[in-house]
Structure 1
Amino acid sequence: MRSIDLNCDVGEGIGLEAEIMPLVSSANIACGAHAGDLATMATVMEIAREHDVWMGAHPGFADRENFGRREIRLGETELRTLVLQQLEALAGVGRFDYVKPHGALYNMAAKDEDISHTVVATVKEFNPDLWLMGLAGSRLLRIAADAGLKTVAEAFADRRYDDAGRLVSRATSNAVISSTEEAVDQVLNLVQHGRVKSIGGREVNVAAESICLHGDNPAALVLARCIREALTAAEIKVQSFAARL
């Protein structure tokens, strides 16, 4: 049976964790920079454990006003410290299995070689057994694999792609898919065919091992339920990316 990992951003103050956790297989936990605090981390980790959901650190820029989605240029040492402090914060609450950068840091690491190297080196220094999740086909995953880290290629249920297979910038009005039906169709296309339909109308190859559901999407819970139902109907199993080992 074909399978796919469903991951969701959690601990970001939306409060849907108890409802959405039974629907996903991996949870990206905010580590106190763009959102979250130690109490939230502890609560979310407890819910994840109850549902056998894999847990990951979700470090981002310390910019709560913009939810970590504004690009901030940091030096190598500053960036290392930013990421390391968040990994240490979550580790102080409980064990986690992987790291997925958040927001602007995620996008910058996907395309900027220097940032990729710093993120990879920091994760490897902290714990070389951790997986690193990033955008499918990105520089971050290539550099992580070259460094010996286990990687997870990710695609998005509710984001549009350009003709080159890159995420359309959130600064663009149609970057986020608001239609549940369209998002479900995109997930099925990704899982069954390894493709997405770009904003230019092209079928673009995207090889994904995990699909992200954004937890701050107002329709996140409805979308998660619809995606699970569609995957079940298509005889596709939802399970953690680690199950392939």
Structure 2
Amino acid sequence: MLRRIMKKSLLIPSFLILFSSAFAQEAKTILYVGDSHSYGKLGTTIEKNLSQKAARVIMQSSCGATPSTWLGNNKYEKTVCGFWKKDGNEEIRSKEHNTPKFVDELVKYRPDVTIVQLGTNIAAGAKPANARNSIIAMMKAIKDEGSKCIWIGPPDANSKVVTQVKLKETNDLLTSLAKENNCQYVDSLKITKFPADNKEGIHYPPSASAQWGEKVSVQLLELIKDN
């Protein structure tokens, strides 16, 4: 109704126009799905920042997840190393949990913006290229829902499993597919450096994970501001 009135009259006070613009910015729903990185400080940091700009933010992370996991190719892919979901004041943290089907979540929440944080477990596989069809399927599902697609790529690692070679292959694959499928890409390799004194190799300590989250949040907020 407010938009129709604005079109009919050019004499509307400027404060009403500013109110309308601010309301439009706040009235968005964001769906975010990720892996074990988002189970920790990366996820909570991003959730805190997105919640300041969006009316509703649904955060979900499933340890060990790949695009295939979220697509539910085997009905429901159960994680046994950690699941987190936060939707406003409602929050779940559980070691074991069925990973929701991504398409079902899109239909359920009808998000204006959908953010996917996946890549490390792709790089942990034998051949990152094997995930190509699953990546495309997720990006296509977002497009079919009419939601804005944003994909957060894998961070730096220091692991014999997630090697620098496979990280680059994964990052190159995601960059290319994001461009082909109208999905914005956040290149985490450009903004992370795995701590040299940490022997874990893949998962960042809380402080470094939070720093990564703050850097990612800057890019995310810029990407969603006009949505």
TM range (shorter): 0.3 to 0.5
Normalised by the length of structure 2, the TM-score is: 0.38
Larger radius of gyration, structure 1 or 2? Answer: 2
